[in-house]
Structure 1
Amino acid sequence: MIAKLRIAVIGAGYWGPNLARNFDASPDWDLVAICDRDRHRAQLVADRHGGVRVVTALDELLAADDIDAVAVATPAATHHEIACAALAAGKHVMVEKPLADTASRGEDMVRAAAEAGLILMADHTYCYTPAVLKMRELVREKALGDILFIDSVRVNLGLIQPDVDVFWDLAPHDLSIIDFVLPGGLHPLSVTAHGADPLGAGKSCVGYLVLPLHGGAIAHVHVNWLSPTKIRQMIIGGTRRTLIWDDLNPQQRISVYDRGVDLNLQALHEEERSASTVSYRLGDTWSPALPEREALAAMVTEFAACIRENRPAITDGEAGLRVLAVLEAASRSLARPDVAGLIANDQRELIGETL
């Protein structure tokens, strides 16, 4: 039998209890402790799981020799400090999205994990859902053909966050999915962001991201805290088929349409392109059968497998950095509407020059 790994959850606010529940239920893990500055809040979570140890000081937690890994569920501004301290203490680390509050701090975390020979995993939860795993499979086996466009919508009547705008709050979900699905990850040629603050909240509450991709494709992400209806939808259009993911439709989360446009370019010269013929495909629609399971359960299983096999997670620190690169470029674009945020090929050298 393989000995269980021992985990502590840092942060007992909104997301921490969900992580604690899944680690406690996993056959791969022993939930050892809950760490939060608010002892009462931590105790409430600990009591749901057999009264595991409650710790209020991070140094005390990381000094313990009965902990192999930590899961960080705290505000993004604290991720760098906590993760680097945990890695220095010899603990593997999972961090909720976004990986950090700046790309440079995210790079520090990735570097520290590599130097220590430890696992750093980004909690990109959606990437572990059966639907998104199927989307990745269909895209990578070319069932959709070459990707032409990605259109993602994530809107709801949501809580206006005190520390981040709507891009940093909601877009990491969509960006992490796009990064996970596309072969080679998300490498946009540039990032253009448009945001609005109609309430006078001091930050964008409605936002649009435009991401030109290699090969002429384009991705568009719409996020909104002010919509009276909740929508979680992504459309991925290809040269062969188009896929629609509707996360709020459990009976049919994925629909694949054998429909599209074929452009037969018979003309050789640009001025003669009007001679080309256009045809429309109107084929079948099908929906793959998907298992219903909690994404977090699959994610904690992946975390354990990475540690035991000493391999990167499918949502590793590099994936977290690619998402951070887009978010930072979006912030620069918002600050200077006449400037698009450019991203270098390695996704780390962030440039702010006009296109």
Structure 2
Amino acid sequence: MIGIGVIGYGYWGPNLVRNFAQVTGGQMVAVCDQNASRLDTVNKLYPALNTYDDVKAFLKDPALDAVVVATPVTTHYPLAKMALEAGKHVFVEKPFTSTSEEGRELVALGDERNLTVMVDHTFIYTSAVRKIHELNSSGQLGQLYYYDSVRVNLGLFQSDVSVMWDLAVHDLSIMDYLLDRDPLTVAATGVAHVAGQPENMAYITCMFPDNLIAHFHVNWLAPVKVRQTLVCGSEKMVVFDDVDMSEKVKVYDKGVTFDDDESMEYQRRVGYRSGDMWAPRLDNIEALAVETQHFVDCIRTGETPLSDGRAGLRVVNILEAAHRSMESSGLPIPIEPMREVTAS
């Protein structure tokens, strides 16, 4: 039985504790938080758990095998490093770390000590995203042309991270999983409408080989909540609307065909195809339940997690490039091919 402890019982911590308390092959044993009132809540809801307000004492709990870090991003690296050095497997909230250098160190430390390092990229464990991955990997979408994502709403303004590090990390992790390739360049623009605070809206563009382009719009200052992604292929197109409770994924048999004969007039070379739309059946399973079980299973079997430290590192690398681009007024920034680097 894998003993699991959570550091941080703030916004996301309660969801993690609830799900890890229900996994097969693992059990919650401890929670650590500096806030006494939060620990009082834990004691009332889970009286069998050990509670700590000191990380060092928490890591010495003899029943602890794995540590879940659900704290502000600036603390991810030091806490995860402490856990790994104490011989614990780690599950880190998104984004993985504040810098790619920190991420590299944690990945290397996990490899060195043969410990599982996993990042909380929750969306790739949703039935909707997994279905789109199935459609793409089976070739049903054909050659991919573009990936377009919008994630906007009114609030919640963050003071410690920009909207890119808060919202775009979700969509970048989905893109990383679905496309399974590295971008060549990243360009970004954004603005902060609150003086002295991080950017509250941003646009990010990733360029890939073969004219594949991915674009992201993230915004804390929108009148409506939109969570929509379009994936366009040569054979089919997909719309993923996370706000739609009944048909989150819609597959359209629509597209264009091109005549390769350059001697023909342009208008005659382009044809349009408009077929049926269908919405695949999706399992109604909480993504976090799938993800937490996956973490425990990977510890027990030695399997590499779907969202391992390398996946977290790739997303952080893109975010860093986007930040540098934003500081350079949107100049495209060449990006390191992380799959080649991290596989070595």
Q: Tell me how far 1:197 sits from its aligned partner.
A: 2.0
Identity %: 41
Equivalent position of 1:190 in the other structure? 185
Shift of 1:45: 2.7
2:278 to 267, 286, 301: 286
Partner of 2:249: 254
In 1, the alpha carbon distance for the partners of 2:21 and 2:173 equals 26
Q: Does 1:129 align with 2:126?
A: yes
The answer on whether the counterparts of 1:15 and 1:73 sit within 8 Å (CA) in structure 2 is yes
Relative to structure 1, is the Cα distance of residues 265 and 200 closer, same or farther in structure 2, using a 3 angstrom cutoff? farther
- The Cα offsets for residues 67-125 of structure 1, whole Å up to 9 and x where unpaired, read as 11011100111111001110111100000100001110011110110000000001000
Gapped runs of 5+ residues in structure 2? none
Distance 1:341 1:11 in 2: 35
Aligned-pair Cα RMSD in Å:
1.6
SS in 2 for 1:307: helix
1:304 counterpart = 2:301: no
Distance 2:208 2:43 in 1: 45
In 1, Cα distance between equivalents of 2:109 and 2:140:
39
Contact (CA 8 Å) 1:39, 1:56: kept in 2 or not? yes
Residues 273 and 72 (structure 1), Cα distance of their counterparts in 2 relative to 1, 3 Å cut? farther
Query: Which residue of the partner structure matches residue 353 of structure 1?
Result: none
Q: Distance in 2 between matches of 1:208 and 1:140?
A: 27
Q: Tell me, in whole angstroms, the C-alpha distance in 1 between the residues paired with 2:169 and 2:181.
A: 12
CA distance in 1, matches of 2:216, 2:178: 15
Per-residue CA deviation, residues 129-150 of structure 1 (Å, 9 max, x unaligned), is 1111111111111111111000
Per-residue CA shift, 1:267-306, capped at 9, x if unaligned?
A: 17xxx77376110001000000011111110011100111
> Residue 319 of structure 1 aligns to a residue in which SS?
helix
Aligned to 2:328: 336
Distance 1:279 1:46 in 2: 65
Change (3 A) 1:33 1:260: same
Out of 11, 14, 32, the residue aligned to residue 11 of structure 2 is: 14
Q: Indicate the residue corresponding to 1:352 in structure 2.
A: none
Q: Quick one: distance in 1 between partners of 2:286 and 2:262?
A: 52
Kindly state the Cα deviation for residue 66 of structure 1 after the two structures are TM-superposed: 0.8
Q: Which runs of 5+ in 1 are unaligned?
A: 350-355
Task: From the superposition, tell whether residues 65 and 194 of structure 1 become closer, same or farther in structure 2 (CA, over 3 Å).
Answer: same
- More divergent stretch after superposition (92-101 vs 57-66): 57-66
**Matches of residues 169-184 of structure 1 in structure 2 within 5 Å?**
169-182=166-179
Q: For 2:121 and 2:272, locate their aligned partners in 1 and report how far apart those are by CA, in whole Å.
A: 37
> Secondary structure of the residue that 2:338 maps to in structure 1?
coil
Q: TM-score, normalised by structure 2?
A: 0.96
Q: Which has the higher mean CA deviation after the structures are superposed, 37-46 or 203-212?
A: 37-46
8 Å CA contact 2:160–2:198 kept in 1: the answer is: no
Moved more, 273-282 or 205-214: 273-282
Is this contact kept in 2: 1:34–1:46, CA < 8 A?
no
Say which SS state the counterpart of residue 25 (structure 1) adopts.
Answer: coil
CA contact (8 A) 1:212 1:218 kept: yes
Q: TM-score, normalised by structure 1?
A: 0.93
Q: How many Å separate the matches in 1 of 2:61 and 2:43? A: 17
Q: Distance in 1 between matches of 2:289 and 2:27?
A: 14
Secondary structure (helix, strand or coil) at the match of 2:253 reads: strand
Question: Contact 1:70–1:93 at 8 Å: present in 2 too?
Answer: yes
Deviation of 1:46 after TM superposition, in Å, equals 3.7
| Residue correspondences, number | 341
Tell whether the 8 Å contact from 2:7 to 2:31 is kept in structure 1 after alignment: yes
Alignment check: 8 A CA contact 1:267 1:276 kept: no
The answer to whether the 8 A contact 1:127-1:180 is kept is yes
Quickly say closer, same or farther: Cα 1:219–1:10, change in 2 above 3 A. Answer: same
TM-fit CA distance, 1:49:
2.2
Paired letter, 1:202: Q
Match of 2:207 in 1: 212
2:198 corresponds to: 203
1:156 pairs with 2:148: no
Q: 5 Å matches for 1:259-270?
A: 259-267=254-262
